Amino acid sequence: MKKEDKAKIIEKIQGDLSKSKVMIAADYRGLSAAEMTNLRKQLREAGVVFHVVKNTLTKLAATKEGKAGLEKLLKGPTAIAFGLKDEAATAKALVNYIRSTRSPLQIKGGFLAQKVLTPAEVQSLALLPSKEVLIGMVVGQIKAPLYGIVGVLAAPMRGLVGVLQARAKQMEAAPQ
C-alpha cells in the first residue's frame, strides 16, 4: 500500500474517531460478505458506521486523536462500530444483531469518554434505556413531588366542598 493511501486511511479513521461518541471493537471472523452487508445496514439505521480496520493504521489515528487507550482492543481481525448519535443505541444495535442472528461476531470491547470498556461493560451499556426514555424518567421523578403538593393543598378545599354539598342536601331535604 502506498504511503499516500495509508495517510488517507488514517485521516478517515481519525475523522470517524473524532465524530463518534462511542467505539465498539469486534472480531468479525466467521461472517460472510452477505452477513457483513446486513450488519452494516442494520447498524446504519441506528446511526452507526461499521468498518473493518487495519490495526496499525487505527493505532496511529487513535494516537493522533488522543484516544490511545483504543490500542488495547486492536489485536487480531478487527472491525469497529463508530456510534455517531447515541452511545447506548450503538451497543444495543450491535448486541441485538448478534443475539437475533446468532452471529459469530464477538465484541472485544469499547471506548467511551476516554475509558476502555470490557465486553461485559458493552453488554451492560446495551441494556440502558434510550436517551429519550431516561429523560422521561427524570422528568417523571421531578413531577411526582409536585403532584403530591397539589394533592395536599387541594385536600382541605375538597373537604370544604364536601361539607357544603352535604349541608345543601340536608337543607333541601328538610321540610320548610
Task: Please give the pLDDT value at position 69.
Answer: 78
Task: Please give the pLDDT value at position 172.
Answer: 86
Positive or negative, the Cα torsion across 49, 55, 60, 66? positive
Q: What is the architecture of the domain spanning 3-128?
A: 2-Layer Sandwich (3.30)
Task: Kindly report, residue by residue over 13-64, the tens digit of the pLDDT.
Answer: 888 888 888 899 999 888 888 888 888 898 888 888 898 888 888 888 888 8
How far is residue 14 from each of residues 10, 46, 81, 119, 150, measured CA to CA in Å? Answer: 6, 21, 14, 23, 54
Task: Kindly report, residue by residue over 109-127, the tens digit of the pLDDT.
Answer: 988 888 888 889 988 888 8
Task: Please give the pLDDT value at position 176.
Answer: 63
The span from the CA of 20 to the CA of 46, in Å, is 13
Task: Please give the pLDDT value at position 58.
Answer: 87
Task: Kindly report, residue by residue over 141-163, the tens digit of the pLDDT.
Answer: 988 888 888 888 888 888 888 88
